[in-house]
Structure 1
Amino acid sequence: MILVSACLLGEKCRFDGQGKNSPKISQFLEGKAYVGVCPEVAGGLGTPRPPAEIVGERVLRADGTDVTRAFKTGVDLTLKIVDEFQIDQAVLKARSPSCGCGKIYNGEFSRTLIDGDGLLT
């Protein structure tokens, strides 16, 4: 079973209220069992919502609002899905503070990427 960031399935759950439907991902998933999830929405954050970035050990909005608890709640719920559905692969949204793997934004809201992972990864 494959875990997929819900936004990559076209669900309008991103911070900007949009989806990021990907024909390549749709083609990859064809005929495969998968489950879509947005950890940020699962954690109680609405759509649209102000962007957030990882700053040290916290997840903050540009105005300084700390949304770490919502992100951690969403990650915990997503990990329960991973266990329940016996997930063995994941296709996750790059650069996301929840799903990013390898590169994330630097926490200064300057669109500068740094090495790092989102809370889920």
Structure 2
Amino acid sequence: MEIGDLRKVLMSACLRGKKVRYDGGTLVVADQIVERWRLEGRIVSVCPEVEAGMSIPRPPAEIFNGSGESVLNGEVDVIEKEGGKVTNEFLAGASIALSLCHKFDISVAVLADFSPSCGSSSIYDGSFSGQKVPGMGVTAALLREHGVLVFNQYEIAEADKALIGESV
């Protein structure tokens, strides 16, 4: 198998060191597995919010009274701290991430936990108080709905096993 034929992994751009977070920062992950993926050309980076046209920096946003699934179902919104509704941007970014998965035949994603887009196990509760609740962000929920295995930055080894076809 050629290196170019290796299965790709979708990864939050902020975890790759790109300054795309709402505050212009990163959440860079220094990990041997991620470095191997990079050298093998496996990583497809995405920041759903930036891909949807949101600025860097941008106001913090949280899912109000729900999770990514409830945003996808049209039940709740993604709200900026000042009160602006950015649901459409988050839905557009999630669709772009899903399109990348289809384009590159990606079935494994490593996304930044706690994000209203990328959170896969926990997100902020919508009160802008720093409180986290179990749940997924909009992109993580859409990817899982379409069969993509979504992991967070603390589950790199599990993502690697899924990527190379071992049971997780």
1:81 partner SS: helix
Question: Residue type of the partner of 1:69?
Answer: N
The residue number in structure 2 matching 1:26 is 34
Instruction: Compare CA radii of gyration and give the structure with the larger one.
Output: 2
In structure 2, the gaps of 5 or more residues are 1-7, 66-75, 141-168
Which of the numbers 52, 58, 70 marks the counterpart of 1:49? 58
Q: CA deviation at 1:78?
A: 1.1
**Rounded Cα–Cα distance in structure 1 between residues aligned with 2:118 and 2:36:** 19
Q: 1:88 to 1:59 in 2, by over 3 A?
A: same
Q: Does 1:10 align with 2:17?
A: yes
Separation of aligned partners in 2, 1:50 and 1:39: 15
Which of 92, 96, 99 lines up with 2:115 in the alignment? 96
Aligned-residue offset at 1:92? 0.5
2:134 to 87, 98, 115: 115
TM-score, length of structure 2 as denominator length: 0.69
TM-score in terms of structure 1 length: 0.94
SS of the equivalent of 1:104 reads strand
Question: Which of 47, 58, 62 is 1:38 aligned to?
Answer: 47
1:27 positional shift: 3.0
AA partner of residue 21 (structure 2): R
Report the CA distance between 1:49 and its aligned residue.
0.5
Q: How far off its partner does 1:48 sit?
A: 0.5
RMSD value over aligned CA atoms? 1.3
- Count of equivalent residues: 121
SS in 2 for 1:23: coil
